Structure 1
Amino acid sequence: MSSDTVTAVAATVIALGSLWVSYTQSRDSRQHSRQSVRPLLQMRRIKEYEGTNAELRVVNAGLGPAIVTTSVVRLDGEPVGQWDYHTQHSILSSFPTRPKAYSMRPGAVVLAGQSVTLLSLDEFSDEQHGWFWDLITRRLVIEIRYESLYGGENFSVTPPEF
Structure 2
Amino acid sequence: MSHIAIQTTVSIAACVLSLAATCFAWQQIEISRTHNRLTVKPMLQLVPQLKGPGGRNGLYLTNTGLGPAIIKEFTVESGRGVFSGLGPDRWAEALSAARLKADCFATGWPRTETPIKAGDELSLLRLTSAENSAPCFAELVKLVGGEGVTTIIRYESVYDEPQDLRSGSKVPTPAINALYRMVMQK
Q: Same fold (TM over 0.5)?
A: yes
String of CA shifts for 1:24-79, please: whole Å, max 9, x gaps.
Answer: 00111011111111111111110113454520001111111100011111012642
String of CA shifts for 1:67-116, please: whole Å, max 9, x gaps.
Answer: 00111110126422236534223234672733100111230000011111
Question: Residues 128, 38 of structure 1: CA spacing in aligned structure 2 closer, same or farther, 3 A cutoff?
Answer: closer
* Whole-angstrom CA distance in 2 between matches of 1:30 and 1:126: 53
1:8 matches 2:11: yes
CA contact (8 A) 2:127 2:136 kept: no
1:75 matches 2:78: yes
Residue 44 of structure 1 is matched in structure 2 by 47
Provide the aligned length of Structure 1 versus Structure 2: 161
SS in 2 for 1:89: helix
* Whole-angstrom CA distance in 2 between matches of 1:124 and 1:44: 21
| Structure with more contact order per residue of length (Cα contacts < 8 Å, sep ≥ 6) | 1
Residue 66 of structure 1 is matched in structure 2 by 69
Alignment-mate amino acid for residue 157 of structure 1:
L
Residue 27 of structure 1 is matched in structure 2 by 30
| Stretch moving more, 129-138 or 15-24 | 129-138
Alignment-mate amino acid for residue 104 of structure 2:
R
Report runs of 4+ in structure 1 exceeding 4 Å deviation.
124-128
Structure 1 unmatched runs, 5+: none
SS in 1 for 2:140: helix
1:157 matches 2:165: yes
Structure 2 unmatched runs, 5+: 173-186
Residue 144 of structure 1: CA displacement?
A: 1.4
* RMSD of Structure 2 on Structure 1 (CA): 2.4
How high is the sequence identity, in percent, across the aligned residues?
Answer: 27
* Whole-angstrom CA distance in 2 between matches of 1:129 and 1:111: 30
* Whole-angstrom CA distance in 2 between matches of 1:53 and 1:27: 43
Residue 14 of structure 1: CA displacement?
A: 0.2
Alignment-mate amino acid for residue 91 of structure 1:
A
TM-score normalised by L of structure 2: 0.75
CA contact (8 A) 2:86 2:112 kept: no
| Stretch moving more, 129-138 or 8-17 | 129-138
Question: Residues 20, 40 of structure 1: CA spacing in aligned structure 2 closer, same or farther, 3 A cutoff?
Answer: same
* Whole-angstrom CA distance in 2 between matches of 1:109 and 1:34: 17
SS in 2 for 1:85: coil
